């Protein structure tokens, strides 16, 4: 059991008193809010949140833990990850930290090593870490070139069922849209996605076939009732405008499903007028955008012997201001695309605040790893603190933003249905027989 700053009562009914909550995560509570934070009492009964009341207003006869203004967050939503790639770094490192180096390294490792047993071991290790950190919802992209699509989606379906009471899981097929030209493969991929309850995804690139690819993608998604989640413009090339093309395709085809775009890095490299027109189209098309600040800052503008000149992230604030649904996520974990990370949304949030300048003010910043990502993936019941919901909460000793963002919050307490979970993280040595030391 890891060290925790407090021990909530082991009782059927209890109160978390004097809890500081991000106001954006709490519904139907009329209390004063300062810097986006409110102080409340959270009443828990039989694993559910029974009530949220102003501080000091909870029933006096309940067992209680006084948090002394410590923060309470809902469990997190991490909606752009790569569980199938996770933790291969010891076995297949990126030789130069570049995007192309990552592509080549992952391709080599996938073709040599990604059996069902290999993928399962690494995915489960990642999920144990995410669960210990306080995550209850994950969407992962799965590399889906043949024959890997069948292997990974079958493993995913088994893991999703095994983990359904701990982490809600979604999966997206990731493949270069060029591969759609092989109709036999694409038909089989769609069948695999439907059988596994997944989403249609892909990587978009500029080219003469892009319009056909996008029209085919959205027509296929509409025909089979699939939502779409794409990797978009992960480059510093100002000429990469597939985000614009995606928005145009959504509107042209009248696609009514959910569409999510991850990365969208090149948008931040374009001139103001060009970027503004694309942002307007994205808003009109109803596309959600996910920023991946840690991975994008790691990969983008990396050149040997040269200091990077930009942070690699998309126009997050401009998109949000235009009404686009936005969130941040972990992306890769200890693989050639990002050598670090542990699927910890607290780390993701802390770095997003720094990289994207989500502070000054921080009033609604907590939404980017809670309510916003949950809503984007169709699970508005997650990432919030609401009466009638399961008491899936993360407790922190930090009382204000400066305290929260200055330390890793390693002593946090995670409650699932009102019970404290064991937050012990899996030992990397468990993977030595899979990926090496």
Token duo for residue 346: 């607290």
Q: Which of 259, 246, 238, 332 is nearest to 293 (CA)?
A: 332
Q: Could you count the other beta carbons within 10 Å of the beta carbon of residue 365?
A: 20
Residues 300, 303, 307: CA angle, nearest 5 degrees: 85
CB-based burial of residue 161 (10 Å sphere; 0-12 exposed, 13-18 middle, 19+ buried)?
exposed
- Cis amide linkage into residue 420, ω under 30° from 0: no
Q: Which of 139, 84, 21 is nearest to 336 (CA)?
A: 84
Q: Which of 238, 237, 231 is nearest to 264 (CA)?
A: 231
Distance CA 131, CA 29 (A): 28
Please enumerate, as own/partner, the contacts of 181-189 that have beta carbons within 8 Å and a separation of 24 or more: 181/209, 185/146, 186/220, 188/146, 188/149, 188/150, 189/144, 189/146, 189/149
Distance CA 144, CA 359 (A): 38
Token duo for residue 20: 């500081």
Give the active site residue among 234, 272, 351, 403.
234
CB-based burial of residue 43 (10 Å sphere; 0-12 exposed, 13-18 middle, 19+ buried)?
buried
Token duo for residue 184: 């036999």
Distance CA 184, CA 39 (A): 57
Q: Is 234 a catalytic residue?
A: yes
Residues 15, 17, 23: CA angle, nearest 5 degrees: 110
Distance CA 350, CA 328 (A): 11
Q: Which of 55, 67, 72, 70 is nearest to 21 (CA)?
A: 72
Token duo for residue 211: 């319009």
Q: Is the dihedral of CA 131, 133, 134, 136 positive or negative?
A: negative
CB–CB of 265/236 below 8 Å? yes
Task: Output the 3-class SS for 38-87.
Answer: EEEEEEEECCEEEEEEECCCCCCCCEEEECCCCEEEECEEEEEECCCCCC
Q: How many residues does the chain have?
A: 437
Q: Which residues does the annotation mark as catalytic?
A: 234
């Amino acid at each position: 059991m890891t060290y925790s700053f407090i021990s909530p009562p082991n009782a059927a009914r209890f109160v978390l008193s004097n809890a500081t909550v991000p106001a954006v995560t709490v519904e139907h509570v009329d209390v004063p809010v300062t810097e986006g934070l409110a102080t409340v009492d959270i009443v828990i009964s039989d694993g559910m949140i029974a009530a949220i009341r102003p501080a000091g207003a909870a029933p006096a006869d309940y067992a209680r833990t006084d948090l002394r203004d410590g923060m309470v967050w809902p469990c997190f939503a991490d909606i752009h990850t790569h569980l199938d790639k996770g933790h291969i770094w010891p076995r297949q490192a990126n030789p130069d930290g570049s995007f192309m180096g990552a592509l080549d390294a992952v391709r080599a490792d996938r073709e040599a090593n990604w059996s069902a047993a290999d993928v399962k071991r690494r995915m489960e290790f990642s999920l144990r870490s995410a669960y210990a950190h306080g995550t209850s919802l994950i969407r992962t992209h799965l590399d889906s070139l043949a024959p890997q699509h069948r292997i990974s989606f079958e493993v995913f379906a088994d893991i999703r069922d095994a983990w359904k009471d701990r982490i809600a899981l979604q999966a997206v097929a990731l493949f270069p849209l060029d591969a759609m030209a092989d109709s036999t493969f694409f038909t089989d991929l769609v069948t695999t996605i439907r059988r596994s309850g997944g989403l249609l995804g892909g990587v978009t690139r500029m080219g003469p076939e892009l319009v056909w690819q996008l029209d085919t993608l959205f027509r296929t998604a509409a025909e089979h009732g699939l939502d779409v989640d794409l990797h978009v413009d992960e480059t510093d090339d100002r000429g990469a405008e597939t985000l614009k093309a995606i928005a145009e395709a959504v509107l042209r085809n009248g696609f009514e499903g959910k569409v999510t775009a991850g990365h969208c890095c090149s948008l931040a490299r374009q001139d103001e007028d060009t970027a503004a027109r694309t942002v307007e189209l994205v808003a009109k098309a109803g596309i959600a955008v996910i920023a991946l600040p840690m991975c994008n800052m790691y990969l983008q503008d990396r050149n040997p012997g040269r200091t990077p000149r930009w942070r690699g992230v998309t126009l997050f604030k401009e998109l949000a201001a235009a009404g686009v649904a936005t969130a941040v996520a972990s992306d890769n974990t200890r693989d050639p695309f990002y050598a670090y990370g542990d699927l910890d949304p607290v780390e993701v949030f802390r770095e997003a605040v720094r990289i994207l300048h989500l502070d000054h003010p921080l009033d609604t910043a907590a939404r980017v790893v809670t309510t916003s990502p949950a809503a984007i993936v169709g699970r508005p019941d997650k990432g919030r603190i609401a009466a009638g919901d399961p008491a899936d909460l993360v407790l922190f000793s930090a009382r204000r933003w400066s305290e929260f963002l200055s330390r890793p919050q390693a002593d946090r307490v995670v409650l699932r249905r009102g019970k404290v979970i064991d937050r012990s993280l899996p030992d990397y040595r468990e993977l030595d027989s899979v990926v090496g030391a």
